[in-house]
A = this chain, B = another copy of it.
Amino acid sequence: MAKIAVLGYGTVGSGVVEVIEHNGGLIAKRTGEALEVKYILDIRDFPGDPYEDRIVHDIGVILEDPQVTVICETMGGEEPAFSFSKKALQAGKSVCTSNKELVANHGAELIALAEENRCNYLFEASVGGGIPIIRPLNTSLTAEHVTEITGILNGTTNYILTKMKTQQAPFEKLLKRAQEKGYAERNPEADIEGYDACRKIAILGSLMTGRTVDYRKIYTEGISRITPEDFAYADAMGCTIKLLATVKEEEDGFLAAVAPSLLDNENPLSGVNNVFNAISVRGNMQGETMYYGKGAGKLATASAVVADVIDCVKHPGKHVICLWDSEELVLKDFSAVQSRFFVRTAIADEETVSELFGDVKKLHLPGRPEEFGFVTAEMSQAEFAQKASQLPGFLSRIRIKD
């Protein structure tokens, strides 16, 4: 019987307990021994809860119990999660977490600490909820030189964009509906401005390169300026619009970005709808593989945490190699990154468009005589910004996924 502790009895923490309760028999068969939740740390009490007697308020009880070998950190946020995780690892107890902030901020340090203490810091649930992506990167794509990871990593924004496409409704209305359905938080900034996706791509980029991608240095743009009209243009071009988070190795360096992007309907990410997430990984031997599923949700996320626990219990005293060094990955200056752009402009000034952007094909939508759209050649962000600033009637632009 492997004894574990859960830190934080919120959505994911209670999900972990539920998954172990529900699938305990199967888990025992696969693990070689049963899992038992011995402690649940929370500042609250839970009178009447079936696990009431496991609730503790003092992390010391857990850290000092030699029976506890694995800890699920499902508290979220920086502190006290960071201190607790460090202490657990120092005590030789593996930590399995869904805490993307902590992983993005301190992944390398916590992995190194785990290695020193012959235990593990695992974080499958921190990216893509229930979708297996961290473990495939670390254990399945091991013969690959991975050159790009691009994902739809945030369910809230993907839900809003999907509905904007299918129902032609504006952003504000869809955000409100997402909040009503519980898909968006009351303070939705972290989702809609791309900050959530940014932390996740930083984690994936760190695993891809083995160095630390500082999420604060990733160019990040949200979806609040995308409109149903943009989707009408996209549709006319055989494309759709998704919030894509990307990290990519190019000849002259690495780029990382989170931004709404126009992508071809042939791209498998284009069919990922509603709250689903998907991550596409490009390797030099096998080309593209993609991983799809629920990017959030209590049980999906908890299932990924428990899979990490099972991994730890199956390999006692063994540190699983995870190449993520504290050395920072230098990213290309985003202003130098090349893209093509889809531009919408008021129709008044067709000549200036040609002068600035050359011979572009103009796309007119029926019923919108006052504007047109066009696709630029590939150019740097800086060059584009400079040209766009000179374009009278400039309405909007969206980068095109290459």
Q: Pick out which of these stretches binds chain B: A75-83, A170-178, A307-315.
A: A307-315
CA distance A297 to B278 in the complex (A): 23
Q: Pick out which of these stretches binds chain B: A50-58, A112-120, A136-144, A334-342.
A: A136-144
Across the interface, which residues of B come within 8 angstroms of A271, CB to CB?
Answer: 268, 270-271
Across the interface, which residues of B come within 8 angstroms of A167, CB to CB?
Answer: none
Across the interface, which residues of B come within 8 angstroms of A272, CB to CB?
Answer: 268
Min Cβ gap A241→B in Å is 16
In contact, B135 and A26 (Cβ under 8 angstroms):
no
Q: Is A131 engaged at the interface, CB distance under 8 Å to the other chain? A: yes
Q: What is the copy number of this chain in the assembly?
A: 2
Q: Is A198 engaged at the interface, CB distance under 8 Å to the other chain? A: no
In contact, B132 and A140 (Cβ under 8 angstroms):
yes
Min Cβ gap A4→B in Å is 12
Given A30-B142, A30-B323, the answer on whether A291 and B289 have CB atoms closer than 8 Å is yes
Across the interface, which residues of B come within 8 angstroms of A142, CB to CB?
Answer: 27, 30-31, 306-307, 310-311
Given A132-B140, A139-B135, A268-B272, the answer on whether A19 and B285 have CB atoms closer than 8 Å is yes
In contact, B299 and A293 (Cβ under 8 angstroms):
no
CA distance A132 to B146 in the complex (A): 14
Quick one: which of A286-308 are within 8 Å of B by CB? 286-294, 297, 299-300, 302-304, 306-307
Across the interface, which residues of B come within 8 angstroms of A297, CB to CB?
Answer: 286
Q: Is A361 engaged at the interface, CB distance under 8 Å to the other chain? A: no
Q: Is A22 engaged at the interface, CB distance under 8 Å to the other chain? A: yes
In contact, B292 and A289 (Cβ under 8 angstroms):
yes
Min Cβ gap A97→B in Å is 15
CA distance A330 to B31 in the complex (A): 25
Given A273-B266, A323-B29, the answer on whether A293 and B286 have CB atoms closer than 8 Å is yes
In contact, B314 and A27 (Cβ under 8 angstroms):
no
Number of interface residues of A (CB under 8 A): 59
In contact, B26 and A141 (Cβ under 8 angstroms):
no
Across the interface, which residues of B come within 8 angstroms of A276, CB to CB?
Answer: 268
Q: Is A124 engaged at the interface, CB distance under 8 Å to the other chain? A: yes
Q: Is A23 engaged at the interface, CB distance under 8 Å to the other chain? A: yes
Given A135-B136, A273-B266, the answer on whether A143 and B293 have CB atoms closer than 8 Å is no
In contact, A285 and B23 (Cβ under 8 angstroms):
yes
> Which partner residue on chain B sits nearest A138 by CB separation?
B30
Min Cβ gap A206→B in Å is 15
Q: Is A130 engaged at the interface, CB distance under 8 Å to the other chain? A: yes
Across the interface, which residues of B come within 8 angstroms of A130, CB to CB?
Answer: 285-287, 289
Min Cβ gap A389→B in Å is 39
Contact with B along A1-43 (1 / 0, CB 8 A): 0000000000000000001101100110111100000000000
In contact, A299 and B321 (Cβ under 8 angstroms):
no
- A contacts, CB < 8 Å to B: 19-20, 22-23, 26-27, 29-32, 124, 129-132, 135-136, 139-145, 210, 266, 268, 270-273, 276, 278, 283-294, 297, 299-300, 302-304, 306-307, 309-311, 314, 321, 323
22 pairs, A vs B, C-beta closer than 8 Å: A19-B285, A20-B143, A22-B284, A27-B142, A29-B323, A30-B142, A30-B323, A32-B321, A130-B287, A131-B289, A132-B136, A132-B140, A136-B136, A139-B139, A139-B307, A141-B303, A143-B307, A143-B309, A266-B273, A289-B292, A289-B293, A290-B292
- Besides A130-B287, A143-B310, A288-B293, 17 other A-B contacts (C-beta < 8 A): A19-B143, A27-B142, A30-B323, A32-B321, A132-B136, A132-B140, A132-B289, A135-B135, A135-B136, A139-B307, A141-B307, A271-B271, A285-B299, A287-B294, A290-B292, A291-B292, A292-B292
